[in-house]
Amino acid sequence: MVTAIIVAAGVGQRMEKEIPKQYLGIINKPLLFYTLDKIALCPKIDEIIVVVSEDRISYCQKEIVEKYKISKVKEIVKGGKERQDSVYLGLKKVSPSTELVLIHDGVRPLITNVLLEEVILRTMDEDAVVVGKLIRDTMVLKGKSYYIEKTLERKNVYTLETPQCFKYDLIKQAYQKAYQDNFYGTDDTSLVVRIGKKVAIIENNQVNIKVTYPQDLLLVEYLLLRDKI
């Protein structure tokens, strides 16, 4: 069984809007709808746990899940202080028969079924898989001042995205160890790597933008409209 945890509890301060970005309207529907819809349409995903802020649970249930009949949503969970806390609260709600957990940002609505299935199938063999983009620009490491300390070998440097997929027992172990050590990582893969496990990277050449700034919203709207034509 594959459970998807959709993380959507953030406040999106960089968007500079009155409401969190995941609820901003795109083509008359909340941004979060498009993400949930893509995840729900993947035949390899059996259930969805949505993690949102406490004050948005009712809205998400009525105005997104029920309104648009997203039947795979098993539960809407109250999020935590940090993203890591939110994911952990979601992990606690997955079904006992869950074998794989796929974690995805609620504000990445352009995810494709092809990529979702590739990640899930690869995780069956690899235990932990992340989607990433190979860096095209020159990457440098800045020193203590404003000067370049060294140039990085860009052929080995990736920016990581979601989805990130894991065997359930592995990601649960990684999270438990992180809390035991009072460790907070930048993403889910960092927790797995720190317990000595390998994470495979799938290079993604598709548009999988994370909506962060106002211009991102415009680009997502354009791409969604283009796909409808």
Residue 229: its pLDDT value, please? 44
Residue 145: its pLDDT value, please? 84
Pick from 14-23, 125-134, 150-159 the range whose average pLDDT is largest: 125-134
84-93, 120-129, 210-219: which has the minimum mean pLDDT?
210-219
Identify the band that residue 35 occupies on the pLDDT scale cut at 50, 70 and 90: very high
Distance CA(197)–CA(199), nearest Å, equals 7
**CA count, 13 A, side-chain hemisphere, 77:** 24
Distance CA(9)–CA(25), nearest Å, equals 17
**CB neighbourhood size of 225 (10 A):** 11
Tell me the helix, strand and coil percentages in the chain, rounded to 5.
40, 25, 35
Distance CA(35)–CA(104), nearest Å, equals 9
The average pLDDT across 131-137 equals 92
The average pLDDT across 126-140 equals 92
48-57, 100-109, 115-124, 138-147: which has the minimum mean pLDDT?
138-147
The average pLDDT across 95-123 equals 96
The DSSP line for 42-92 is -TT--EEEEEE-GGGHHHIIIIIIITTT-TTEEEEEE--SSHHHHHHHHHT
| CATH numeric code, 2-228 | 3.90.550.10
The DSSP line for 143-166 is -SSSSEEEEE-GGG-EEEEEEEEE
Residue 154: its pLDDT value, please? 83
> Helices (H), strands (E): how many in the chain?
7, 11
pLDDT tens string 200-221: 999 998 899 999 888 999 999 9
pLDDT tens string 141-198: 888 888 899 988 888 889 999 999 999 999 999 999 999 999 999 999 999 999 999 9
Q: Does the structure show a pLDDT above 90 at 224?
A: no
pLDDT tens string 38-86: 999 999 999 999 999 999 999 999 999 999 999 999 999 999 999 999 9
Model confidence pTM above 0.85? yes
Q: Does the structure show a pLDDT above 80 at 111?
A: yes
Backbone angles phi, psi at 3, to 5 degrees: -110, 130
